[in-house]
Amino acid sequence: MDIVKILMEEFNLQIYQVKNTIKLLEEGNTIPFIARYRKEQTGDLKDTVLRKFYDRYSYLINLQERQQEVIRLIDAQGKLTESLKEDILKSETIQRLEDLYRPFRPKRRTRASIAREKGLEGLAKLIFSQDVVDHKLKEEAFNYIDEEKGIATEEEAISGAMDIIAEDISDNPHYRDMIKKIAYEKGTIKSEAIDSEVESPYRVYYDFKEAVRSIPNHRILAINRGENEKILKVSLVLPDEEITSKIKAQVIKDKTTDAGKYLDSAIEDSYKRLILPSIEREIRSTLTERAEEEAIDVFALNLRSLLMQPPTKDVVIMGIDPAYRTGCKVAIIDETGKLLNYTTVYPTEPQNKIEEAKEVLKGFIDEYNVNIVAIGNGTGSRETELVIAELIDELGGNISYTIVNEAGASVYSASEVGQAEFPDLDVSIRGAISIARRLQDPLAELVKIDPKHIGVGQYQHDLNQKRLEEALRGVVEDCVNTVGVDLNTASPSLLKYVAGISYKLALSIVQFREKGGKFRNREELLKVKGLGPKTFTQCAGFLRIDDGDNPLDNTAVHPESYEIAQCLIGRDLEKVDLKEISKELGVGMLTLQDIVEELKRPGRDPRDELPKPIFRKDVLKIEDLRPNMVLTGTVRNVVDFGVFVDIGVKQDGLIHISELSKEYIKHPKEVLKVGDIVNVKILNVDAARKRISLSMKDL
């Protein structure tokens, strides 16, 4: 297997890109570092491509190692042929490789293995060869009678031989390949209710069929969940007769002979008892894996968009975590995220102390010069929003509010990170602080929460958790390193995502900072216990020092390129000839362009160029909505079947995939991402069911 050639073809890369990228990965370089500081070697491969490249490369390495292991295991049995070895080395998937190994794999005790123990393999081969006339077959079977082995009659001997034949047919990789192709072309996924009287979200699947080749991924995940919850019974329906007929046509020479009749029976048994259950498991597993991979990709895309939402800088924010009985928790944070004050007010049911709450909030707004109110979108959000809108009107409209997705805030509040940050505060107050900080700097705050709890996925709790965790961690790493981290203010939760830095090392960096004061330059990182030259190379370019000894420390210029950057300082960067400078300084064009951009805009935050949150001063009720109204909203979540948009009422509206574009699209992610600001037209409002249908067509 030529791994380099495979990667070149699959990723449409040149040979130098593949070889250099493999070398960089094998040397232990992190993906953010390779993506940012080794562009010449990789041909400017982005972090998302590098992660897919790494996953595929790892798979191919595992496949190659497994091929050698399978060859060794079969050879040890003395059954390896050149033809089989060639097939093994040509296998392109682990599943195909395991199919080839299947006949040689040690098995638990089966009907076939018991028959082999009784010495019936010779009879099985004789029947399968069909080179014996009918009366001779009975005579041959008679020779296998052995009451000590539990074979009392010719029929028992033949029955055992047929068990061996059935298992051999089931293990045959050629037949399995053929059946899988038919399954993907003509198979149907069928689901039915275990009890049709039970009400559930899966009613649409109570009597449901869809072709394997076309069933959408979100339906696969929904059906799986219904099955796991014991609501649905799910099966794979195949053209059984067509499949068995094809196997029989390849195996049976003459259906009228005894051997032919026995083989016919053995094939039917093999298919129903062994092949069909095995193929069903495999097909459904493959469909689930495909569906999970797309769900993880969409989750990762949503998470990236959410984390990269622009910060709301230089403002004082009032965060409100709404509730009913226990009251609304309020926290004020300053421009740096520092907690200034907190309290609890009771404007909602059952207390309804609206005027009292307004007076308290007015006092906070005046005392701390609050600019924006951030309201969590959980229980009581709607009622709290009405109170805040009235309050803003009474204050003359000098401040505004926005609704913040509070998914995961309670997880942060009860976490070790939350307890460490605010050990003396009630859990619910921590939630209000988190809501305010999410608006101020979404990335810095959301990294404190397990990405699974952030609320921008679909079926995330049903997915392969290890794979999901790996993918989401990769997204967080890429976002953190794209933005860069202030070395003197970053929490351990943020630092642990910087290239090359573990959580243990992040704690060491913070302890060093707390003991010795602010870092004055990047070189001081080498004084941190456990942070050596190799780690320094990986992390230094992503760590920023504002107002330090060297202005370059507040840019994404890597220390290894400081000499080049110094040569550029003082030149008119708008007019310089980059090609000439590239030759003069012996630096690649891609690296040079990055350095020039950093020198032009030091301290640039890439998030500032993205759409800002929508700030409101008045409130819209679901009862105010009418068909054909056009509103502006924020994309909250992108899923397989559409996009959820916050249009300023408590309930997010749904743009179904069919209403996203006049053109055909395969997935909503082709059109929108989380955080996008969009104009939408209302199609329909069902206030009783709290459903709002939206469209982006004809706008």
pLDDT of 439 > 80? The answer is: yes
pLDDT of 645 > 80? The answer is: yes
Q: Where are the alpha helices (DSSP H) in 540-588?
A: 562-568, 578-585
The set of residues, in sequence order, having a beta carbon less than 8 Å from that of 177 and lying 6+ positions away, is 96, 99
For β-strands 188-193 and 232-237, DSSP reports them as: antiparallel
| Predicted pLDDT of residue 185 | 97
Q: State the helix-helix crossing angle for 94-101 and 47-76, rounded to 10 degrees.
A: 10
Give the model's confidence band at 456: pLDDT under 50 very low, under 70 low, under 90 confident, else very high.
confident
pLDDT of 275 > 90? The answer is: yes
Longest dimension (CA), the chain: 106
Map tokens 């042929």 to a residue: 81
Give the model's confidence band at 161: pLDDT under 50 very low, under 70 low, under 90 confident, else very high.
very high
* Rounded Cα gap, residues 320 and 432, in angstroms: 5
| Predicted pLDDT of residue 611 | 83
* Rounded Cα gap, residues 314 and 618, in angstroms: 23
CA-closest candidate to residue 407, choices 358, 445, 370: 445
* Rounded Cα gap, residues 166 and 267, in angstroms: 6
| Predicted pLDDT of residue 648 | 83
- Concatenate the DSSP letters of all residues of 18-41 into one string: HHHHHHHHHTT--HHHHHHH-HHH
pLDDT of 457 > 80? The answer is: no
Amino acid of residue 646? D
* Rounded Cα gap, residues 697 and 683, in angstroms: 10
Asked if 409 and 322 count as a contact pair (C-beta separation under 8 A), the reply is no
pLDDT of 34 > 90? The answer is: yes
| Predicted pLDDT of residue 500 | 97
| Span 298-344, pLDDT tens digits | 999 999 999 999 999 999 999 999 999 999 999 999 999 999 999 99
Query: Mean pLDDT throughout 435-443?
Result: 95
Query: What mean pLDDT value characterizes the chain?
Result: 93
| Predicted pLDDT of residue 262 | 95
| Span 72-102, pLDDT tens digits | 999 999 999 999 999 999 999 999 999 999 9
Count Cα atoms within 13 angstroms, Cβ side, for 343. 15
Give the model's confidence band at 226: pLDDT under 50 very low, under 70 low, under 90 confident, else very high.
very high
| Predicted pLDDT of residue 619 | 79
pLDDT of 410 > 90? The answer is: no
Query: Mean pLDDT throughout 381-403?
Result: 92
CA-closest candidate to residue 374, choices 304, 434, 418: 434
pLDDT of 459 > 80? The answer is: no
| Span 558-609, pLDDT tens digits | 999 999 999 998 888 888 899 999 999 999 999 999 999 999 988 888 998 8
Count Cα atoms within 13 angstroms, Cβ side, for 266. 29
* Rounded Cα gap, residues 569 and 553, in angstroms: 14
Please name each of the domains of the chain with its CATH number: 3-104 (1.10.10.650), 172-307 (1.10.3500.10), 317-456 (3.30.420.140), 503-609 (1.10.150.310), 622-695 (2.40.50.140)
Distance of CA 251 to the CA centre of its chain: 45
| Predicted pLDDT of residue 465 | 87
Give the model's confidence band at 610: pLDDT under 50 very low, under 70 low, under 90 confident, else very high.
confident
| Predicted pLDDT of residue 138 | 87
The reply to whether the predicted model has a pTM over 0.75 is yes
| Predicted pLDDT of residue 573 | 87
Distance of CA 255 to the CA centre of its chain: 53
The set of residues, in sequence order, having a beta carbon less than 8 Å from that of 256 and lying 6+ positions away, is none
| Predicted pLDDT of residue 155 | 93
Q: State what percent of residues in the chain have pLDDT above 90.
A: 81
pLDDT of 460 > 80? The answer is: no
Q: State what percent of residues in the chain have pLDDT above 70.
A: 100
* Rounded Cα gap, residues 321 and 344, in angstroms: 9
| Predicted pLDDT of residue 454 | 84
pLDDT of 168 > 80? The answer is: yes
pLDDT of 47 > 80? The answer is: yes
Please give the order of strands across the beta sheet that includes 232-237.
Answer: 207-211, 188-193, 232-237
Question: Omega before 350 cis (within 30°)?
Answer: yes
Give the model's confidence band at 26: pLDDT under 50 very low, under 70 low, under 90 confident, else very high.
very high
Query: Mean pLDDT throughout 676-682?
Result: 93
At residue 179's C-alpha, the angle toward residues 249 and 467, to 5°, is: 165
